[in-house]
């Protein structure tokens, strides 16, 4: 009974902890409370006798489920709060799409992950056996096997339609023939077999074998875990090669010259294949012959008598120097043939914001309304749809992405004639009237529920950096703007 009392105390303590943490979890309604009423679950005591648990006691399995649930929620909440979405700001949208897809799936759970891992690992024997067969094929451990598969693959290259035939034959020979032989295997005792020993039994000797995944307490399961640990490197090496050697070096325009030439070359080759695709059939026999020769040469290079020589040649310092020299010569040739006009130094631009004032009909005075990114003329779509982006304090206006405000710059009223920015924004001058001296542009026609606006343009210079964002260059967050960098708008004035 002492063990039962300890379980009862643990369940009570767990219930108190759940009540205290209920406000921390968004879905605390899933937490379960200790059961009430008679629970006739039987447990086996230390003495080996069966006894009934007392009322208001929670079973050990319920306590385990509650503690597991709490642990899963704590881990999930801490991961959500502590870890960033990604280490690249450009991938935030991609991560958000994955998060949206996860809403209809189970959340992160240690128990669920463990159960799924056990089920997956118990079913990985076939892929690992296939990898081992490929390695045996390349290592020439069984020359007859390697030569046989070379002949089969050669025929598949010559006639690709044989892929379906070979697939069906593999299914017939491996699972079906083996199962049939196991059921009707030859009898071991010659006195029971009137014919030769090689003949199959005329009646089933064994029951059919049903394939089942191994349990986690078998040696095969442990071997699968070991193979999974070791064969992870295959995916890691492939990912590293594609990402670091191809994309990061040639495909992300870090070297704009090489990436541009590669882009033009691939695009031209794709267009040629699309336009002259029918003529490619003429070269198809030559491509098949090249594929067959390459296949035999690659497999022959893995022969034990040739592997050491070839590896020594590929890993030699002389070959590395030659490849490096060839690469440098190619890059110099590209630099001499193609010239890119890249801007040098800082990129200085000018951003704008419009101060909007509204006419008070009662006092006949202009009162400040907001700062908007749109001039909000009478025919402006953001004004009609009420979709403009605005702030009430000009210090809250942020520079564009990858830009920062230039040093010692402030918001200033645009002193040019309003007619200039009206033409830049394709605003009809007949629909507004402007004052060249004060730079205000007034509504000529009132169509917005009697509201009359006037606006003037404020400008400020920003600086962008080539190759990195402004925050990466300066190490500062330029989104927030200090109030002393702002020229305060004038007070309200009468019409």
Question: 354-403: per-residue pLDDT in tens?
Answer: 999 988 888 889 999 999 988 888 788 888 887 878 899 998 999 988 88
The Cα 492–Cα 312 span in angstroms is 84
User: Bigger pLDDT: 15 or 293?
Assistant: 293
Confidence of residue 83 (pLDDT cuts 50, 70, 90): low
Give the per-residue pLDDT at 31: 39
Question: For the chain, what percent of residues have pLDDT higher than 70?
Answer: 72
Alpha-carbon torsion (205, 211, 216, 222), positive or negative: positive
**Using the 8-state DSSP alphabet, how is residue 490 labeled?**
P
Q: Which of 129, 110, 111, 135 is nearest to 223 (CA)?
A: 129
Asked if residue 404 lies in contact with residue 463, where contact means CB atoms within 8 angstroms, the answer is yes
**Does 90 have pLDDT greater than 80?**
no
The Cα 359–Cα 343 span in angstroms is 46
Q: Integer distance in angstroms from the first to the last C-alpha of the chain?
A: 91
Torsion (CA) 288, 290, 294, 297 in degrees, nearest 10? 110
Give the per-residue pLDDT at 88: 57
* SS3 category, 263: helix
The Cα 378–Cα 179 span in angstroms is 83
The Cα 73–Cα 26 span in angstroms is 10
Asked if residue 31 lies in contact with residue 66, where contact means CB atoms within 8 angstroms, the answer is yes
**Does 129 have pLDDT greater than 90?**
yes
Q: Which residues pair with 487 in a beta bridge?
A: none
Give the per-residue pLDDT at 432: 85
Span 429-458, average pLDDT: 81
Confidence of residue 336 (pLDDT cuts 50, 70, 90): confident
**Average pLDDT score, the chain:** 77
| Other beta carbons less than 10 A from residue 463's beta carbon | 20
* Angle of CA points 446, 448, 449, to nearest 5°: 100
Give the per-residue pLDDT at 340: 65
Give the per-residue pLDDT at 194: 52
Phi/psi at 405 (5° precision):
-65, 140
Give the per-residue pLDDT at 10: 45
* SS3 category, 372: strand
**Does 322 have pLDDT greater than 80?**
yes
Give the per-residue pLDDT at 490: 45
User: Bigger pLDDT: 339 or 344?
Assistant: 339
Give the per-residue pLDDT at 80: 66
**What is the residue whose two structure tokens read 């009934």?**
52
Give the per-residue pLDDT at 254: 83
Give the per-residue pLDDT at 481: 36
The Cα 397–Cα 400 span in angstroms is 10
Give the per-residue pLDDT at 354: 93
Under 8 Å CB-to-CB from 109, ≥6 apart: which residues? 72
Give the per-residue pLDDT at 388: 79
Q: What count of residues does the chain have?
A: 495
**Does 2 have pLDDT greater than 70?**
no
Phi/psi at 295 (5° precision):
-60, -50
How far, in Å, are 75, 95, 102, 343 from residue 264 at the CA level? Answer: 49, 31, 39, 22
User: Bigger pLDDT: 24 or 105?
Assistant: 105
* SS3 category, 24: coil
Instruction: Give the range among 187-191, 227-231, 288-292, 384-388 with minimum mean pLDDT.
Output: 187-191
Span 228-251, average pLDDT: 92
Instruction: Give the range among 47-61, 100-114, 227-241, 403-417 with minimum mean pLDDT.
Output: 47-61
């Amino acid at each position: 009974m002492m063990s039962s009392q300890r379980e009862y105390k643990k369940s009570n303590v767990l219930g108190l902890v759940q009540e205290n943490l209920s406000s921390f979890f968004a879905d605390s309604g899933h937490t379960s409370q200790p059961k009430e009423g008679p629970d006739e679950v039987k447990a086996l005591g230390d003495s080996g006798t069966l006894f009934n648990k007392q009322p208001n006691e929670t079973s050990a399995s319920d306590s385990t489920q509650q503690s597991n649930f709490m642990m899963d929620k704590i881990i999930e909440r801490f991961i959500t709060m502590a870890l960033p979405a990604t280490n690249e700001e450009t991938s935030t949208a991609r991560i958000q799409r994955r998060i949206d897809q996860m809403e209809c799936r189970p959340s992160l759970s240690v128990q669920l992950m463990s159960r799924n891992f056990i089920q997956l690992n118990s079913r990985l024997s076939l892929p690992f056996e296939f990898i081992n067969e490929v390695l045996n094929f390349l290592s020439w451990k069984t020359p007859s096997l390697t030569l046989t598969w070379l002949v089969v693959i050669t025929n598949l290259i010559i006639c690709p339609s044989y892929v379906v035939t070979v697939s069906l034959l593999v299914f017939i020979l491996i699972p079906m023939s083996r199962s049939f032989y196991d059921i009707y295997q030859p009898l071991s005792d010659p006195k029971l077999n009137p014919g030769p020993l090689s003949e199959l039994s005329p009646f089933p000797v064994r029951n059919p074998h049903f394939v089942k995944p191994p349990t986690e307490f078998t040696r095969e399961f442990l071997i699968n875990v070991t193979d999974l640990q070791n064969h992870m490197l295959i995916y890691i090496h492939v990912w590293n090669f594609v990402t670091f050697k191809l994309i990061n070096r040639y495909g992300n325009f870090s070297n704009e010259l090489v990436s541009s030439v590669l882009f033009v070359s691939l695009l031209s080759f794709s267009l040629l294949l699309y336009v002259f695709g029918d003529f490619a059939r003429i070269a198809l026999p030559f491509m098949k012959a090249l594929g067959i020769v390459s296949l035999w040469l690659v497999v022959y290079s893995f022969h034990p008598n040739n592997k050491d020589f070839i590896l020594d040649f590929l890993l030699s310092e002389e070959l590395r120097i030659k490849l490096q020299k060839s690469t440098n010569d190619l890059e110099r040739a590209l630099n001499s043939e193609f010239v890119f006009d890249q801007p040098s130094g800082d990129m200085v631009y000018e951003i704008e914001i419009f101060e909007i004032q509204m006419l008070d009909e009662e006092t006949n005075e202009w009162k400040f309304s907001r700062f908007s990114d749109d001039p909000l003329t009478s025919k402006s779509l953001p004004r009609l749809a009420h979709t403009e982006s605005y702030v009430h304090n000009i210090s809250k206006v942020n520079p564009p992405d990858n830009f920062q405000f230039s040093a010692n710059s402030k918001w200033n009223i645009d002193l040019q004639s309003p007619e200039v920015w009206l033409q830049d924004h394709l605003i009809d001058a007949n629909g507004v009237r402007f004052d060249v001296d004060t730079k205000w542009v007034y509504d000529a026609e009132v169509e917005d529920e009697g509201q009359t606006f006037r606006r003037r343009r404020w400008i400020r210079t920003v600086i962008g950096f080539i190759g990195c964002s402004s925050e990466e260059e300066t190490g500062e967050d330029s989104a927030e703007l200090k109030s002393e960098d702002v020229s305060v708008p004038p007070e309200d004035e009468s019409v």
